[in-house]
């Protein structure tokens, strides 16, 4: 997502300069308006405060000035925020640049927003723009109007004709410069607006992180859904067809009792091959997504997994309420991969899998009494894959596997539900 969207500027230097001029003058006008409005509030509020402090102190006096004193910070806040909105609208309209409105942190009125850095940045903009937008815009206007101003000046002071000619010449140079100056002033104006009216760097990063986290979660969810879909398709399609094929070959083998022996042998071989294909398909489908996981949760899915592991495994699952499907899948595949490692590489005689949920945290521990020495860089150990799986749901994976063993792999995941 782009934070600022640049609306295409119309092509052509003349148009560009005209727009810049418009923007610079609008900036100048608004700078003055802002200064006047805020100044009035401060002056009136200050005067009321002064009167309250130095006045006679009777009830009527207090009743007159106290509300003014109390109202002025609120009015000033309104002015600062309202004017900031107006300035952003002005930049969108005249410069064609979208400045994202920073969050106001949802702080509570009337004084909460005063603690927000956004408010002070907006105030800083209103003050700084007097120098940049105000003076700059005025200068641009003066340059454009210089030929007229020169005539007025010469006529007012009854200066000689050659002075008029010379001055008009200078004025023409100023007119030529005016467009460039407007572009320059608009550049400074935009720089200032981006720095002070847009989201701060922290806020921008925070938004970015939020967006990335969301899009990553979406991708993981979509990937999970896709794996489930493929699993379903294979189960309903290829697997059933293979079963049917093996069954028909079985029927053929049984009924063709008087067929020549080579034919019967070929049918028997074909049947065996169909069964091998079926077994391979089953392993593949299970690796995609175990249906029992969606259906009965981690305990049931891990029970099946543990039961298929050649090494004896003690399984303890204490998860009172289920985690999100993505996290359950990550936990399942971490245990699956870890137990595959135990069986393949560790020479362990037994292993222990413990899954507990503590608040929002799901802790998965796989321990074995093998020879240890497992590191994420060990080829084919799949430990890197485990760490990546854990990281994909903001989890962590710790591997404690000194040479000589034992090995303990701990995954800590956020349940997300």
Partner 1 sequence: MRVVIAEDSVLLRAGLTKLLTEGGFEVVDAVPDAEALLRSVTAHTPDLALIDVRMPPTHTDEGIRAALVIRRQHPSVALMVLSQYVEERYATDLLSAATSSVGYLLKDRIAHVTDFLDAVRRVAAGGTALDPEVVAQLMVRHRTDPMDRLTPRESEVLRLMAEGRSNHGIVEALRVSPSAVEKYVTNIFAKLDLPPTDVDHRRVLAVLKYLQSA
Within residues 306-325, the interface with partner 1 by CB under 8 A covers: 306-309, 312-314
Strand partners, 33: none
Tell me which of 73, 147, 250, 376 binds partner 1, using CB under 8 A.
250
Within residues 317-376, the interface with partner 1 by CB under 8 A covers: 350
Please identify, using beta-carbon distances, which residue of 154 and 315 lies nearer to partner 1: 315
With a CB cutoff of 8 Å and minimum separation 6, the contacts of 213 are 394
With a CB cutoff of 8 Å and minimum separation 6, the contacts of 243 are 278
Size of the site for partner 1 (CB under 8 A): 41
Say whether residue 274 binds partner 1 (CB under 8 A).
Answer: yes
Please identify, using beta-carbon distances, which residue of 349 and 396 lies nearer to partner 1: 349
CB 64 within 8 A of CB 81: no
Q: What does each C-alpha distance from 200 to 3, 65, 98, 102, 194 come to in angstroms?
A: 12, 37, 15, 7, 9
Q: How far apart are CA 189 and CA 136, in angstroms?
A: 9
Say whether residue 269 binds partner 1 (CB under 8 A).
Answer: no
Q: How far is the CB of 306 from partner 1 (least distance, A)?
A: 7
Please identify, using beta-carbon distances, which residue of 244 and 361 lies nearer to partner 1: 244
Within residues 109-138, the interface with partner 1 by CB under 8 A covers: none
Tell me which of 10, 39, 304, 385 binds partner 1, using CB under 8 A.
304
* Kind and range of the H or E run holding 289: none
Q: Which of 399, 411, 410 is nearest to 373 (CA)?
A: 399
Q: How far is the CB of 106 from partner 1 (least distance, A)?
A: 42
Q: How many residues does the chain have?
A: 417
Tell me which of 207, 282, 322, 371 binds partner 1, using CB under 8 A.
282
Sheet holding 396-400, edge to edge: 313-318, 351-358, 361-368, 407-414, 396-400
How many helices, marked H, and strands, marked E, lie in the chain? 12, 5
Q: How far apart are CA 196 and CA 122, in angstroms?
A: 6
Say whether residue 285 binds partner 1 (CB under 8 A).
Answer: yes
Which alpha helices (H) appear in 91-135, and where do they start and end? 117-129
Strand partners, 352: 314, 367
CB 332 within 8 A of CB 363: no
Residue 215-244 contact track with partner 1, rule CB under 8 A, x = bound: -----------------x--xx--xxx-xx
Tell me which of 211, 214, 215, 254 binds partner 1, using CB under 8 A.
254
Please identify, using beta-carbon distances, which residue of 20 and 342 lies nearer to partner 1: 342
With a CB cutoff of 8 Å and minimum separation 6, the contacts of 314 are 350, 351, 352, 353
Say whether residue 248 binds partner 1 (CB under 8 A).
Answer: yes
Tell me which of 142, 279, 287, 349 binds partner 1, using CB under 8 A.
279
Tell me which of 196, 246, 365, 413 binds partner 1, using CB under 8 A.
246
Please identify, using beta-carbon distances, which residue of 250 and 373 lies nearer to partner 1: 250
With a CB cutoff of 8 Å and minimum separation 6, the contacts of 53 are none
Q: How far is the CB of 204 from partner 1 (least distance, A)?
A: 44
CB 39 within 8 A of CB 134: no
Please identify, using beta-carbon distances, which residue of 56 and 320 lies nearer to partner 1: 320
Say whether residue 247 binds partner 1 (CB under 8 A).
Answer: yes
Please identify, using beta-carbon distances, which residue of 239 and 341 lies nearer to partner 1: 239
Binding site for partner 1 (CB under 8 A): 232, 235-236, 239-241, 243-244, 246-251, 253-254, 271, 274-275, 278-279, 282, 285-286, 291-292, 294-296, 299-300, 303-304, 306-309, 312-314, 350
């Amino acid at each position: 997502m782009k934070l600022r969207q640049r609306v295409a500027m119309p092509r052509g230097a003349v148009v560009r300069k005209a727009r810049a001029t418009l923007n610079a003058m609008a900036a100048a006008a608004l700078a003055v308006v802002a200064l006047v409005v805020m100044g009035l509030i401060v002056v009136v509020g200050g005067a009321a405060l002064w009167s309250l402090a130095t006045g006679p102190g009777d009830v009527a006096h207090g009743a007159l000035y106290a509300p003014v004193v109390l109202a002025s910070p609120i009015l000033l806040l309104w002015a600062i925020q309202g004017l900031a909105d107006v300035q952003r609208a002005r930049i969108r309209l005249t410069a064609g640049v979208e400045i994202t409105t920073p969050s106001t942190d949802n702080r509570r009125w009337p004084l909460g927003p005063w603690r927000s850095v956004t408010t002070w940045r907006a105030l800083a903009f209103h003050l700084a723009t007097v120098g940049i937008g105000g003076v700059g815009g005025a200068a641009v206007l003066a340059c454009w109007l210089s030929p007229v101003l020169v005539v007025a000046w010469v006529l007012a002071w009854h200066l000689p004709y050659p002075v008029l000619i010379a001055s008009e010449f200078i004025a023409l140079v100023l007119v030529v410069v005016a467009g460039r100056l407007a572009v320059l002033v608009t550049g400074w104006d935009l720089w200032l607006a981006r720095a002070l009216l847009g989201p701060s760097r922290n806020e921008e990063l925070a938004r970015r992180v939020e967006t990335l986290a969301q899009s990553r979660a979406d991708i993981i969810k979509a990937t999970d859904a896709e794996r489930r879909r493929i699993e379903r398709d294979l189960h309903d399609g290829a697997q059933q067809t293979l079963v049917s094929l093996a069954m028909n070959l079985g029927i053929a083998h049984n009924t063709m009792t008087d067929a020549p022996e080579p034919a019967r042998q070929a049918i028997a071989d074909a049947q065996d091959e169909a069964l091998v294909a079926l077994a391979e398909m089953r392993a593949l489908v299970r690796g995609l997504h175990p249906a029992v996981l969606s259906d009965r949760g981690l305990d049931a899915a891990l029970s099946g997994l543990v039961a298929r592991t050649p090494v004896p495994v003690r399984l303890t699952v204490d998860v009172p309420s289920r985690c999100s499907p993505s996290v359950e899948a990550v936990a399942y595949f971490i245990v699956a991969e870890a137990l595959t490692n135990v069986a393949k590489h560790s020479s362990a005689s037994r292993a222990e899998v413990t899954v507990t949920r503590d608040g929002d945290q799901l802790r998965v521990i796989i321990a074995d009494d093998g020879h240890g020495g497992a590191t994420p860089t060990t080829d084919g150990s799949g430990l890197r894959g485990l760490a990546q799986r854990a990281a994909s749901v903001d989890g962590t994976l710790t591997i404690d596997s000194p040479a000589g063993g034992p090995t303990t792999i701990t995954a800590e995941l956020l349940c997300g539900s």
